[in-house]
Amino acid sequence: MIFKVLYQEDPNEIATRERTKSIYIEADSIRDARKKLANKTINIEYIQPLNKAHLAYEKQSENFELETI
């Protein structure tokens, strides 16, 4: 399953919409996604599972790139 991870680059930063970034990763579950991102120093805001329709929409974005972790 593909997950969209919303995060802040600074783990100590308070989440603000203007500085929120996103990455896309493949994982078995939200817990698995968190484990895969554990070694990164980021502040995870939200992990969203993407269904087929939402994934198709996200793929239309020029910023879509599936991270390999």
For residues 49 and 54, give the distance between their C-alpha atoms in angstroms, rounded to a whole number: 9
Q: Mean pLDDT for each 10-residue chunk of the chain (69 residues)?
A: 93 83 95 94 94 94 86
Q: Domain limits of the chain? A: 2-48
pLDDT at position 19: 86
In CATH, the architecture of 2-48 is Roll (3.10)
| Angstrom distances, CA of residue 17 to CA of 4, 14, 47, 55, 56 | 15, 10, 15, 21, 23
Q: What is the pLDDT of residue 48?
A: 96
The pLDDT of residue 13 is 79
Cα–Cα distance, 66 to 53 (Å, whole number): 16
- Position 16 scores a pLDDT of 81
What is the pLDDT at residue 15?
A: 79
Report pLDDT for 10.
Answer: 84
